[in-house]
Structure 1
């Protein structure tokens, strides 16, 4: 009897030890990266028109995240027209937050001034699955002085500008858009639309395509030609091609094909308003299907250029972790999950199954009215595309085509080069103000380029453009030598 009692006591103690160990293990897992076991709230700023059902969707997101990583997310959407101004106030004020959508020049400048965390070590630990999933071209292209400050969305790494048309009008007037190769090729169609479609603006407000690799953006006068001499930076506003392009735009403006207030209007020409005939933008494989689905009418596009991998195409959609974040490790855990967990990625992007979309027997999906009306968020800005569910009318090879598109693209001259503007900061400030004065009117055709381009270039000279060009060339040559190019 005594031996049996000792055995039972030992068994009870063993079970207690095992349960204690399990409890301790579960607790340490759930509390990882948070204080006192409470879920860490991740504050996320992203671009896009605020949606009615965001809170409803993120209630489901947070149920999932609490179980997976003991965190919740508070996502704030900032509308397109307010984005730049409001986010710069947020960053410059030092407001504590965790994640912000960023891209292009804004990404580079905010990283260089210390607003974003370098995340290479976090990618090797909390983000290792995410790092393995990303296209290496994307990761290489977003490095600044050898460090990574943002997580690129796994999507098209290249850019291809296209002319996009309202298909109803193309079919109605039997236009052959396959013949459109240049801006000038649009003229016969614009004439017909202007004459016959009173409620349609023939050309949505666009900035005409020019074949350059811009150091900052297409408003600033610094670029490397995509053809010819790709090794020397130029002021492209002095080139004959720019003059010819702006002359065509001015001709279209005078003919009434472009809105009279194009230079000053803040109208972003949303795709879901059918008040335009042709517009210009950046494309990707099967983009017309995505745009048509969102617009609720059909559009069709033709290319204006060959696919090219630019700095702003690899950095076209990034999530950066703020240096004000109180828990970067937990934030990286969330970003790792968002980009590798199909359930979470689709929930954030498409909303709630049965409310915002339905899933078919074959795994494809279709939108419900609430998806378009109450939770229509920009897919490109949220993360990895390649784990998103396909729509029922999507080609089955959609993501394979994206990868082929990326692999076929040619690198731009400055891919991987990021200019440090500190040596010419005052000159750039003056040039920025001058560009804001001249560029919108020139690029939309609102003024005569034969009169205004010479004035623009004269002011650029007076502001010190030659000094900036020289500094860009110096840094570019040093970068090429260092990279062995």
Structure 2
């Protein structure tokens, strides 16, 4: 899901990631500020936990900078900081407030360079190609591509900088996240610790589940939804039984697999295969069963005829969606267990009258694209690398500084209604909905719409922090595929996928006739060579990481 821009109404509940729309990333009913940038992409059993001192936001934040020299002993410098979002009217006011806080601590003036989503990648590519100086930048697996830029030597190696100027980051960010951004033993960006793990499941409108007494907690696979969809189709003519979004590319773990690189390109591994044999995911029994199920749902009218091009968000806003797939971190049952009450559900964020039950039937897994989904890097062109690291440290350890970047200026863009809770101003000139871009999200203020149970004792944050710590790590966590040796084959394969995939995955065509043609064309375009190259690189990575 390549994100070109974020819309405030949808980023609370989902994130459009590299190639496809991931619905349901949000955690309505918990802390609505803590919506991660997990790419669509998908999360893990025993992630190495952060130290006990990092288990609560109050223990991992500080209003004093304890890892840098006193500001009066530092020469004044100016740092440029590039990040993507929707242009904001009050960006200068926020910059001024940020510098009021930052300058006394590290004697640096920060120049905020907010670039529109649609232009960010191109802007950064041009700057790096020309050698134009800058200091800090947002980088991810899906935007300003982290691993490609590391290969181009665009970012500064950080191990020594972190140890000297920001050692607190080693405890705030769990080891498993550092592993995901480590390339040949060196870290080139600081992970913004955020809601990075997710399981997979579905959302069902509460009113319909209750009306027809549907056992929504019993679902273990997509096919279990068939009788629910049939009930809706027969009795609710104004409802779309299944708001189609491609479950296969959105959530390979639903099918027991994991993508290596982007989800579309041939070359997955099975989650339970310790040997990590790379397979063509489109030529597997799981994919055939999936497209066969979609064809059945399509023919029965559960999926709209124009599903492949339909605006799913418009249907949600109109309250027309009965069920849909979801990338779900914490579901309705998790929140009920934590707070003692059932939340309104993710569908209600698009339409408050359309409350939903959210249920995950695939448990959280942490993959490389999730753990490295949002980071802050220092440019090799920076003349003040040490000071840039000091600023990154402040974004992660200073609650006040973090929340200026997140929510803006107190009294202008929000009003505090508690020690750790705010009410947003109407028609605000600074509203990003993207705290995951900047630093440690455990520092984020709660919103007035968050449940009191979430705010009390910081329970809302602790839910997702614990989820990150306890999620099962992928067997290939830390592996990144370099497409360079097969870039021509990738371009050819991408063209075949663009031509044929959606018709298959939406159920629009007969898979018995169309799937063999699709697989043959992929092979002709070079799929086997890509898979062989993935296997080679994966084997080398395994040998180097024993």
State how far apart, in whole Å, the 1-side matches of 2:469 and 2:477 are.
15
> Residue 150 of structure 1 is aligned with which of 179, 186, 189?
189
Deviation at 1:310, TM superposition (A): 1.0
Query: Judging changes above 3 Å, is the alpha-carbon distance between structure 1 residues 314 and 26 closer, same or farther for their aligned structure 2 residues?
Result: closer
* Conserved? CA contact 1:219–1:439, under 8 Å: no
> Residue 67 of structure 1 is aligned with which of 71, 88, 104?
104
Which residue of structure 2 aligns with residue 222 of structure 1?
Answer: 267
> Residue 461 of structure 2 is aligned with which of 399, 404, 412?
399
Deviation at 1:341, TM superposition (A): 0.6
Report matched runs for 1:342-421 at 5 Å: 342-361=399-418, 363-370=419-426, 375-391=431-447, 392-393=450-451, 394-395=453-454, 396=457, 397-421=459-483
Secondary structure of the structure 2 residue equivalent to 1:76: strand
Which residue of structure 1 aligns with residue 370 of structure 2?
Answer: 313
> Residue 539 of structure 2 is aligned with which of 464, 477, 480?
477
Q: Which segments of 5 or more consecutive residues in structure 2 lack a partner in the other structure? A: 1-69, 336-342
Deviation at 1:403, TM superposition (A): 3.7
Deviation at 1:146, TM superposition (A): 1.8
Which residue of structure 2 aligns with residue 45 of structure 1?
Answer: 83
Tell which has more relative contact order, 1 or 2 (C-alpha 8 A, sep 6+). 2
Larger Rg: 1
* Conserved? CA contact 2:201–2:362, under 8 Å: yes
Secondary structure of the structure 1 residue equivalent to 2:443: coil
Q: Where is the helix percentage greater, Structure 1 or Structure 2? A: 1
Q: Deviations over 1:23-45 (max 9, x none)?
A: xx86543x34x2xxxxx142312
Query: Judging changes above 3 Å, is the alpha-carbon distance between structure 1 residues 275 and 55 closer, same or farther for their aligned structure 2 residues?
Result: farther
State how far apart, in whole Å, the 2-side matches of 1:229 and 1:82 are.
41
Report matched runs for 1:49-448 at 5 Å: 49-69=86-106, 70-79=108-117, 96-104=133-141, 106-167=145-206, 169-171=208-210, 174-193=213-232, 196=236, 198=238, 202-208=242-248, 209-210=251-252, 211-228=256-273, 230-264=275-309, 274=319, 276-285=321-330, 295=350, 297=352, 298-361=355-418, 363-370=419-426, 375-391=431-447, 392-393=450-451, 394-395=453-454, 396=457, 397-448=459-510
Deviation at 1:446, TM superposition (A): 3.7
* Conserved? CA contact 2:159–2:187, under 8 Å: yes
Larger deviation: 474-483 or 369-378? 369-378
State how far apart, in whole Å, the 2-side matches of 1:426 and 1:177 are.
46
Query: Judging changes above 3 Å, is the alpha-carbon distance between structure 1 residues 373 and 57 closer, same or farther for their aligned structure 2 residues?
Result: closer
Q: Which segments of 5 or more consecutive residues in structure 1 lack a partner in the other structure? A: 1-24, 35-39
State how far apart, in whole Å, the 2-side matches of 1:355 and 1:112 are.
42
State how far apart, in whole Å, the 1-side matches of 2:294 and 2:490 are.
27
The two structures have a TM-score, normalised by structure 2, of 0.72
* Conserved? CA contact 2:402–2:443, under 8 Å: yes
* Conserved? CA contact 1:247–1:445, under 8 Å: yes
Secondary structure of the structure 1 residue equivalent to 2:475: coil
* Conserved? CA contact 1:53–1:375, under 8 Å: no
Deviation at 1:476, TM superposition (A): 1.9
Deviation at 1:139, TM superposition (A): 0.5
Query: Judging changes above 3 Å, is the alpha-carbon distance between structure 1 residues 293 and 337 closer, same or farther for their aligned structure 2 residues?
Result: farther
Deviation at 1:152, TM superposition (A): 1.2
The two structures have a TM-score, normalised by structure 1, of 0.80
Deviation at 1:157, TM superposition (A): 4.8
Larger deviation: 448-457 or 371-380? 371-380
Deviation at 1:336, TM superposition (A): 1.2
| Equivalent residues, number | 450
Question: RMSD over aligned Cα, in angstroms?
Answer: 3.5
> Residue 452 of structure 1 is aligned with which of 506, 510, 514?
514
* Conserved? CA contact 2:405–2:435, under 8 Å: no
